[in-house]
Amino acid sequence: METIIQGVFNGALMGCTYALIALGLSLIFGVMNVVNFAHGDFVMLSMYFTFWAGSIWGVDAALTPLITFPLLFSFGIIVYYGLINRTLREHYTIQIAVTVGLMTFLRAITQLVWHAQPRALPYSFIQGNIHLGGYVIALSRLTSATISLIIIAGISFFLSKTWPGRTIRATSDDLDAASLMGVDFQKTYALAFGLGSSLTAIAGSLLMTFQQVDPTMGLRFGLLSWCILALAGLGSIPGLLISGLIVGVGESLAMTFWDPRARSLVIYLIFILVLWLRPRGIFGRK
């Protein structure tokens, strides 16, 4: 029983960060209907930037979002204008092909610069455990989950209360109507893509406080966030958070009770079952 609760705790904390990654994907896919296969590799890239910032300049991993956020935001904008914008009117397979090309490129670059072995940072200053009535909670995970929640709440506020956020939602609802109301869809798309990418920067930096990184982990994060998105459906941020928690807890329980290798198995099985039974997601809007 205690192991179950401990597993649920750990999984839920991870789930918050997963939800943050999926939120970035949801912004990109929900607004411009572009399938970004490189999303998981954005996470991987920002983990490597965090590693760099940490190992060269000695910046603590918990503070690196301040560097990686603007970095990935501008990277997202460059990618949007350089690649995505040119393929918007093509068949969706062409968009996938171009993002797969980007994915291969990012993976190759990281392999070239940082080599293939896993990298990790020395302990962050938010290290240590909290003991809570027999359960152990890693402080780094708790901090990441908290920051993730704050960011998700912030994005939610941004989308509903500010003018740029509203243009994003309007474009996602009806592109033509939004354009007629004076929304510059190019800028909105670029903003959504940049924002979606920069959310992975925060997630990547947070993950780096307790995880290691290697060039091949992008695909796992990519599929993971698609799974959360499938579970949540489009357009619901609380739904996204709950789905993130479900996936995180499922993964953690599979690791403790079944087999550490089965962690991705559970996620993908949830993914396929949800697609079969609830194609619009559990909390979907459309």
Partner 1 sequence: MKHKKDRIIEKFLLLLLLIFALIIPLIIGSNQYNVLLVTTVLLYGVMATSWNIIGGLAGQLDLASFAYLGLGAFTSGTLFIRYNFSPWIGMVIGGLVAVGFALLIGIPLFRFRIREVWYALTTCALVEILKVVFTMWEEVGGPVERYLPYYRGSLYHMRFGSYIPYYYLILGLLLIVLLVNYRITKTKLGYYLKALGEDEIAAEALGVNTRVCKLRALVYYSFLIGVAGGIYANMYGYVHPSFFNGQESIKVAILGIVGGRGIAYGPLLAALLLVGIQEFLRASIGGEVSGLYLVIYSVILILVVLFRPKGIATIFQGIYQKLIRREVKKEDV
Residues in the site for partner 1, rule: CB under 8 A?
35, 37, 83, 86-87, 90-94, 96-98, 100-102, 104-105, 107-112, 115-116, 216, 219, 223, 226-227, 230, 259, 261-262, 264-265, 268-269, 271-272, 275-277, 279
Q: How far apart are the first and last CA of the chain?
A: 39
Distance CA 243, CA 233 (A): 9
Shortest CB 284 distance to partner 1, Å: 12
Distance CA 36, CA 280 (A): 19
Shortest CB 230 distance to partner 1, Å: 7
**Smaller CB distance to partner 1: residue 71 or 106?**
106
**Smaller CB distance to partner 1: residue 94 or 177?**
94
**Smaller CB distance to partner 1: residue 12 or 219?**
219
* Helices first, then strands: H and E counts in the chain: 12, 2
Distance CA 212, CA 118 (A): 6
Residue 266 carries which side chain, given as an amino acid letter? Answer: V
Would the CA dihedral through 116, 117, 118, 124 be positive or negative? negative
Shortest CB 271 distance to partner 1, Å: 6
Shortest CB 67 distance to partner 1, Å: 24
Provide the β-strand partners of residue 137: 130
Shortest CB 98 distance to partner 1, Å: 5
Phi, psi of 133 (to 5 degrees): 55, 45
**Smaller CB distance to partner 1: residue 142 or 219?**
219
Shortest CB 109 distance to partner 1, Å: 6
Shortest CB 253 distance to partner 1, Å: 16
**Smaller CB distance to partner 1: residue 166 or 220?**
220
**Smaller CB distance to partner 1: residue 101 or 118?**
101
**Smaller CB distance to partner 1: residue 110 or 148?**
110
Phi, psi of 129 (to 5 degrees): -125, 150
**Smaller CB distance to partner 1: residue 84 or 206?**
84
Task: Single out the residue of 94, 108, 102 nearest to residue 78, CA to CA.
Answer: 102
Shortest CB 225 distance to partner 1, Å: 11
Written as one string, the DSSP assignment of 222-261 is: HHHHHHHHHHH-TT-HHHHHHHHHHHHHHHHHHHHHT-GG
Residue count of the chain: 286
Written as one string, the DSSP assignment of 104-167 is: HHHHHHHHHHH-SS-B-PPPPTT--EEEETTEEEEHHHHHHHHHHHHHHHHHHHHHHHSHHHHH
Task: Single out the residue of 30, 78, 85 nearest to residue 198, CA to CA.
Answer: 78
